[in-house]
Amino acid sequence: MVEEIGNTTEGDLIINVGPQHPATHGVLHLIITLNGETIKKVEPHLGFIHRSIEKMCESLSYRQFIYVTSRMDYLSSHINNHACALTVEKGLQIEVPDRAKVIRILMDELTRIASHELWWGAMAMDLGAFTPFFHAFRERESINDIMEETCGARLTMNYIVPGGLMQDIHPNFQKRVKDFLSLYKSKIHEYDELITGNIIFQNRMKGVGYLSPEDAISFGVTGPAARGSGVSCDIRKLYPYDGYENLQFDEILETAGDSFARYMVRIREMQQSVRIIEQLIDNIPEGDFQTKTKAVLKLPKGEFYTRVETARGEFGVYIVSEGGTTPYRIKFRSPGFSNLSALDKMARGEKLGDLVAMMGTLDLVIPDIDR
């Protein structure tokens, strides 16, 4: 590996971060070329958790492959399931009942809050503050409890399926979501008091890891990481699906392009998700939670692409069908893979100690990158 990096001069130091490093939040290997304390190059080395999900899906039916996708971006598993269900529905040209659509969006937004909570706690921990992690998990646990009651799982939900939902919501669902919202609103100011306004934290984030809007687009960076550079890329706004077009919420944009901007995007996005949930929680329509579909799904010959907004960015599902019961080829365009490719650009010329802040604000989930 070392000889292959190239462009090293006398006196450069090459260090490995990972595969087993707490700040990579998974098994990611970075080979870093250093000049003193300044980063000259970052080389990601992937594949430690590659399960070849795309190849596996080629032998799974359109009902079965949903389960595997929960294991990719395990913090956005509802949204992954949602994207796959939408793609299959697009191919079969079936319409989902309104009740299912509303519950899907509720689940997506709860997942988004839970994912951002975990990111917030973990990133603060990377930067040396341990307390925020417990604050974040206090709220995240109550979301997980809601999920557990309705979906039967806390992490890999497999709840959104082609045609609607796996089962109806639990009778307690609405009450518990409202309880969560009031808890969350009474605690949200603690986040800013603990971290956002903290001068030590701000000094470590501001001006660190600058990404220009042009580079963000060119590297295919999406989600909060791109919106921190002022690139409008929220799929929920640009190409709305399942009724996002009828909801009132803002696309959060920051213009600074540094780590602090990306941090602020996620903090403010959680409040927008709360806004969406508030609009829907009392207005879940009555009716079926599923349309009647055939036991064996067969997609017509053709190609189907759907994109959705996960907590990390644009997630795309590309299915090539030959008319059979299994996909001929399936490609998951995961947001983490493209976001990671911009890390080298962001890190060059920065200090080694700041790399953790940059990785933290990219919000990398390794199974999402490796697939």
Partner 1 sequence: MGNEEIKTKITELLAASAFDESGEWLNITVSSQDWFSFASQLRNDETLYFDHLFCLTCIDFKTNLTMVYHLSSTKFRHNIVVKSVLDITKPEIETVSSIWQTANFHEREVYEMFGVNFLNHPDLRLLILPDGWEGKNPMRKDFEDPINMIKL
Positions 40 through 99 that interact with partner 1 (CB under 8 A) = 44-47, 50, 52, 54-56, 58-60, 90
Give the binding-site size for partner 1 (rule: CB under 8 A): 44
Which residue, 247, 226, 227, is CA-closest to 237?
A: 247
Residue 279 phi, psi dihedral angles, 5° rounding = -70, -30
Closest CB to partner 1 among 90 and 101?
90
Residue 16 phi, psi dihedral angles, 5° rounding = -105, 130
Instruction: Give the binding range for partner 1 (CB under 8 A) out of 39-47, 139-147, 259-267, 349-357.
Output: 39-47
Residue 310: CB atoms within 10 A of its CB come to 30
Contact 158, 151 (CB under 8 A): yes
* CB contact set of 92 (below 8 Å; sequence gap of 6+): 162, 293, 297, 299
Q: Give the nearest distance from C-beta 208 to partner 1 in angstroms.
A: 21
Instruction: Give the binding range for partner 1 (CB under 8 A) out of 119-127, 270-278, 287-295, 326-334.
Output: 326-334
Which residue, 366, 199, 186, 190, is CA-closest to 267?
A: 190
233 binds partner 1 (CB under 8 A): yes
Closest CB to partner 1 among 259 and 326?
326
Contact 160, 63 (CB under 8 A): no
- Specify the amino acid at residue 82: H
137: exposed, middle or buried (Cβ count in 10 Å: 0-12, 13-18, 19+): middle
* Element housing 33 (H / E): strand 29-35
Q: Give the nearest distance from C-beta 26 to partner 1 in angstroms.
A: 14
Q: What mask of x and - would describe binding to partner 1 in positions 203 to 222, judged by CB under 8 A?
A: ------------x-xxxx-x
333 binds partner 1 (CB under 8 A): yes
27 binds partner 1 (CB under 8 A): no
337 binds partner 1 (CB under 8 A): yes
Closest CB to partner 1 among 41 and 204?
41
| Helix (H/G/I), strand (E/B), else coil: 317 | strand
**Residue ranges binding partner 1 (CB under 8 A):** 1, 4, 44-47, 50, 52, 54-56, 58-60, 90, 215, 217-220, 222, 231-233, 238, 302-305, 307, 314, 316, 318, 320, 328-329, 331, 333, 337-338, 340-341, 345, 370
